[in-house]
Amino acid sequence: MNKTSSGPVRTAVLVVLGLIWLTPLYLLIVNASKSVDGYDAATVWEPSGFSLFGNFAEAWDKAALGDTLVATTLYSVVSPILAVLIGAAAGYAIVVLRLRYGFLWFVVIFGGTIFPLQMVLMPLFSGYADTGLYDTRTGMIIVYTAISVPFSAFVMRNFFTGIARSVFEAAIVDGGGMFRIFRSIYLPMAGSALAAIFILQATFVWNDLLLGLTLSQSESVRPIMPALTGLQSTYGGAALPTVLAGGLLVSLPTVILFLAAQRFFSRGLALGQF
């Protein structure tokens, strides 16, 4: 097959794959837009009416999403910022400052990703209960930061490895201190990689369900995803269009974040060598 004939075939394959990928999104929007009375499991593929905004309002009220939105936004901003700064500092110390036993330190940091999260839930719960961090915003920020640091350190270590050693040596000759070089030279150079890490970690925190269910209880502390699960309770649960509308509603901030920072994210993926 020559290049001329392969072009249309490639385009057709990509269109088909794109339609398959968009099929769940179509079902979500179509059924979230139906009224409670108009929903029928036998006609999930067929649009019927448009009650999307009404379902949004009902999901917002029933799940008390407004009470959890502030807390979730706080976690999704503060924890990723702390994680990228700690990860950048770790990568800088290991690669640029050539920390003694640097690779061993990196293995220790990245080793936190080896074990499944489910294995540490009970120790986390017990430790949080004993220290008074259970059902507190401070406790949630700490655990989300700790979970996000290993990946941040991994990416930043790779990124700083690609920067010539002469940059650091020239800064030392000019009289720069270790912290000033990190703050004024290496952090600005790593802006795109830091932005990409922040986006990924903010999305993870926003979409977290397991840690929120385990380590929080009150509506002012609990993240938005555990609050959304209240719509699907066995007794007194909301109708499916309301549940779907709630899921669509809480996913919009992450979609907007990706669209707004797409350029930084793409550059960060390339520079950080994910």
Q: Give residue-wise pLDDT tens across range 263-273.
A: 766 665 555 44
Average model confidence (pLDDT) across the chain: 84
pLDDT (0 to 100) of residue 83: 94
Q: What is the mean pLDDT of residues 64-80?
A: 89
Side chain identity, residue 15? V
Does residue 1 surpass a pLDDT of 80? no
Best-predicted range by mean pLDDT among 34-43, 63-72, 113-122, 196-205? 196-205
Residue with tokens 């702390």: 82
pLDDT (0 to 100) of residue 5: 56
Does residue 274 surpass a pLDDT of 60? no
Does residue 61 surpass a pLDDT of 60? yes
Does residue 101 surpass a pLDDT of 70? yes
pLDDT (0 to 100) of residue 138: 94
CA distances from 167 to 45, 64, 173, 176, 183 (A): 59, 52, 10, 11, 14
pLDDT (0 to 100) of residue 6: 67
Domain regions of the chain by residue span: 3-52, 58-272
- Report d(CA 215, CA 139) in Å as an integer: 8
Q: What is the mean pLDDT of residues 32-45?
A: 80
pLDDT (0 to 100) of residue 260: 79
pLDDT (0 to 100) of residue 114: 79
- CB atoms under 10 Å from CB of 224, counted, come to 28
Does residue 192 surpass a pLDDT of 70? yes
User: What does the DSSP 8-state code read for residue 162?
Assistant: T
Q: What is the mean pLDDT of residues 119-145?
A: 92
CATH number of 58-272: 1.10.3720.10
